[in-house]
């Protein structure tokens, strides 16, 4: 990453008194092309430490492409990604994880044949320091290290209230619980930024309420910065500190939920025309 420091470091206080820190990640004039198709066109916004930042827009707006740029899976055609005050260049997935960026996926990406506990343990891999041989032999430092990592995982299992299924193969679980396990695996990596790709997709009302509660608790108790894509507007407006609105690859709104609700361009493109 570049050695040039970011300039904008001021934080702010939310209406409910929560302290939000300075800029943790900044997207500067991001453009992403796939051949002749422009998925993202000259978009800039930041994510501040400790906040819940939402990205919304109609289908095909470029939200998932933007999340893939943030996660390092896509390298922008133009523009810069800055993280913790430094410009981030192209990186391999494990390097992104080591930086402190973890994510969940719209289509669940778990190991169905492995237990819930073992799936969550995979989230600790980038934090393990002992060599492969010691891990394979499971002795000495490797044994002590795995015990320490398992203790961390057990705390996450308790936190997300999935103790009863910890030894259950993931393939046997209902959809809502699989989503919770995927969240647990992402948390196991102890991320600075947690990226959630449609965390409520396919859930019933009760499952959505549980997931909303866990997201708020993760942000509050762990201090984890969260960036999410979500189609459920009620969820977005209730959870988010700030919202970026995309349409056809462009940014058409950026602000607090109340500011976004009142934005005429957002209303016309996404929320629908308001009637008296």
Is the domain of 230 the same as that of 112?
no
Q: Which of 190, 221, 249 is the last residue of a domain?
A: 190
Q: Where in the sequence is the domain holding 179, given as residue range(s)?
A: 101-190
What pLDDT was estimated at residue 192?
A: 93
What pLDDT was estimated at residue 233?
A: 80
Nearest CA to 25 among 77, 94, 96, 78?
96
Strand partners, 105: none
Is the domain of 88 the same as that of 118?
no
Distance CA(56)–CA(243), nearest Å, equals: 7
Range of lowest pLDDT (25-29, 214-218, 220-224, 266-270): 266-270
Is the domain of 158 the same as that of 128?
yes
Nearest CA to 114 among 187, 189, 165, 179?
165
Q: Is the per-residue pLDDT at 111 higher than 50? A: yes
Tell me the pLDDT tens digit for each residue of 39-75: 999 999 999 999 999 999 888 889 999 999 999 999 9
Q: Strand ranges (DSSP E) for the chain?
A: 12-13, 19-20, 23-34, 37-48, 52-56, 78-83, 86-88, 101-103, 193-197, 225-229, 242-247, 250-255
Q: Does 275 fall in a domain?
A: no
Is the domain of 38 the same as that of 64?
yes
What pLDDT was estimated at residue 96?
A: 86
CB-CB contact of 130 with 141 (8 Å): yes
pTM score, whole prediction = 0.85
What pLDDT was estimated at residue 150?
A: 86
Is the domain of 155 the same as that of 37?
no
CATH of residue 152: 3.40.50.300
Count the domains in the chain: 2
Q: Is 115 helix (H, G, I), strand (E, B) or coil?
A: strand
Please compute Rg for the chain using Cα positions: 19
Tell me the pLDDT tens digit for each residue of 193-243: 999 999 988 888 899 999 999 999 999 999 999 999 988 888 888 999 999
Is the domain of 74 the same as that of 199?
yes
Is the domain of 212 the same as that of 176?
no
Q: Give just the sign of the alpha carbon dihedral 158, 160, 165, 169.
A: negative
Strand partners, 41: none
What pLDDT was estimated at residue 267?
A: 86
Is the domain of 34 the same as that of 66?
yes
């Amino acid at each position: 990453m570049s050695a040039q420091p970011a300039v904008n470091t001021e934080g702010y206080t939310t209406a409910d008194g929560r302290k939000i820190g300075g800029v943790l990640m900044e997207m500067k004039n991001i453009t992403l092309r796939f051949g002749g198709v422009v998925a993202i066109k000259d978009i800039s916004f930041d994510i501040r430490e400790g906040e819940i930042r939402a990205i919304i827009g109609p289908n095909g707006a470029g939200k998932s492409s933007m999340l893939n740029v943030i996660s390092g899976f896509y390298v922008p055609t133009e523009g810069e990604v800055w993280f913790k005050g430094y410009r981030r260049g192209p990186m391999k997935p494990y390097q992104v994880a080591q930086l402190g960026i973890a994510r969940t996926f719209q289509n669940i990406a778990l190991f169905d044949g492995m237990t819930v506990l073992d799936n969550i343990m995979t989230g600790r891999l980038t934090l393990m320091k002992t060599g492969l041989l010691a891990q394979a032999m499971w002795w000495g430092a490797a044994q002590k290290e795995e015990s320490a990592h398992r203790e961390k995982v057990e705390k996450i299992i308790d936190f997300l209230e999935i103790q009863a299924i910890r030894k259950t193969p993931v393939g046997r679980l209902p959809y809502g619980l699989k989503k919770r396990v995927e969240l647990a695996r992402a948390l196991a990596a102890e991320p600075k930024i947690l990226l959630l790709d449609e965390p409520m997709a396919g859930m019933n009302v009760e499952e959505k309420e549980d997931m909303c509660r866990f997201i708020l608790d993760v942000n509050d108790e762990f201090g984890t910065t969260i960036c999410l894509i979500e189609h459920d507007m009620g969820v977005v407006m209730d959870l988010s500190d700030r919202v970026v609105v995309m349409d056809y690859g462009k940014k058409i709104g950026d602000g607090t939920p109340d500011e976004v609700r009142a934005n005429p361009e957002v209303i016309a493109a996404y929320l629908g025309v308001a009637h008296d």
